[in-house]
Structure 1
């Protein structure tokens, strides 16, 4: 049984962390191949299953990526499912989850091309410091923090820059997130696997930092499972990133179901658990 583990040109062998999955898959009689998502030479019909892993440039060509999902999803079973990936690709999903009663980091969605006064927005929301980011992005790209006198000049200029490219999000800066880190809860097939804590990601940080194993907190795990229950589709893998709000309560910072680091090395047996579930999907296809 051939399995495609999907990456991008900048990581043709995937990350060291994801490579931990290769041997457990082989031990279960599966043949994994690492494949670049937009390589035109790939024959997707030779695979029984394709698993999206490190497509870390998808947000640079979002329309091409969404078209690729449609095309490849019609040729091979793709996990996570295309509908879920499409929904998760634009961070407006945070507002949709908030409408369902999920406590999320407060978020103002600013549509592309529309003039938005950052000082007026901040005054209306009562925020003292904000984080501005694209609604379609990853790895902290164009994610920056502004406060005080910088809001009206540098902050406004950055918001205008993001809006010239696409939709933007403006969120309050959460001090505890940057002082104590972001907690990431990893689930395989909807079942909790492990949790890590890691520094918050900003553009200047140079990528996604490593995570340190974390004993799950009951209140945060309950939040994570509410988020998964509200997700419009079953997921092979999901990472729920939790932050502490200004009132001290946990908030959903992001739900990552496209190409998240899963920190497989942070929990003993995590690669084997994920390989078991992938093997189960393969068995289900052959029935």
Structure 2
């Protein structure tokens, strides 16, 4: 039997396997790490197309799925970004998760849910902040990415106290909510653990983990580009890290089953027990090149979502 497909059938079949990998115009061909998933998607019959989130005249309904990857210029335009996400018919991760996760006030909710979270002082745009008498702190905005606009300050040093206060004031004057957190010294030795999860066997399954070295070495001096460079190597996570990661994911509004990917960032606290630094559900680097089979696992998750 010969089957003749008309033009509408061909177009519909193509759209069912066509996926947008959402980026920004500064990274039009995707981050190098994200490019690793492209061959694995092709092997599964999925056509992946890099598309800038704010590109004009894009018909997002023509894609079977839009997967957020590297739209790292959204920080200064968050309201526009979450409004865009709400208009994309098939988005991963979902638009309500994007809205919740792009403002780090979500850490408050996770703390209420019993997740151990790094202690945070919140300074509203109209508020005031006086540096504590001593210790090391991190100052950063509640809406941010790539460790930009973030700095580390030793408050036992007079010049750092002045710089920290100036940093907080600069963010406040820009209308940004400010976070002040104790600097967790273990990041200088043990490092930060990032645990990656993709769907598998009907649940959000652990895929791989990496160790990130300390990124903040001193006061914020401004950095050109979309992110600060990271020192990355593979890591086998501790049972305690996996336990806290799963506890954090279980507390995500709507549940973790809707997620296509998740990254959980942990650092040991003063008692050496891991605490959550960030739960990355919007545009995290997935470090696909650090673990065998990771690109294939991510591609399989995308194909299954279709």
Give me the TM-score of the superposition, normalised by structure 1. Answer: 0.91
Corresponding residue to 1:3 among 19, 22, 27: 19
**In structure 1, distance between residues paired with 2:24 and 2:214:** 24
The size of the alignment, in residue pairs, is: 273
2:240 is aligned with 1:236:
no
**In structure 2, distance between residues paired with 1:140 and 1:277:** 28
Which position in structure 2 is the counterpart of 1:44? 60
> SS state of the match for residue 253, structure 1?
strand
**In structure 1, distance between residues paired with 2:127 and 2:63:** 44
2:268 is aligned with 1:252:
no
Corresponding residue to 2:76 among 43, 60, 67: 60
**In structure 2, distance between residues paired with 1:158 and 1:135:** 14
Question: What is the CA distance between 1:208 and its match in structure 2?
Answer: 4.0
> Deviations 1:37-96 (Å, cap 9, x if unpaired)?
000121112111000000111111111101111122xxx310001111110111111111
Which position in structure 1 is the counterpart of 2:292? 268
2:220 is aligned with 1:199:
no
Q: Which runs of 5+ in 2 are unaligned?
A: 1-16
> SS state of the match for residue 41, structure 1?
coil
Structure 1 residue ranges, 4+ long, deviating more than 4 angstroms after superposition: 203-206
Give me the TM-score of the superposition, normalised by structure 2. Answer: 0.86
Which position in structure 1 is the counterpart of 2:143? 136
> SS state of the match for residue 66, structure 2?
strand
Corresponding residue to 1:88 among 85, 101, 110: 101
Are residues 37 and 251 of structure 1, via their aligned partners in 2, closer, same or farther at CA, if it must alter by over 3 Å?
Answer: same
**In structure 1, distance between residues paired with 2:214 and 2:161:** 24
> SS state of the match for residue 188, structure 1?
strand
Question: What is the CA distance between 1:146 and its match in structure 2?
Answer: 1.1
2:120 is aligned with 1:113:
no
Question: What is the CA distance between 1:109 and its match in structure 2?
Answer: 1.3
Q: Which runs of 5+ in 1 are unaligned?
A: 283-287
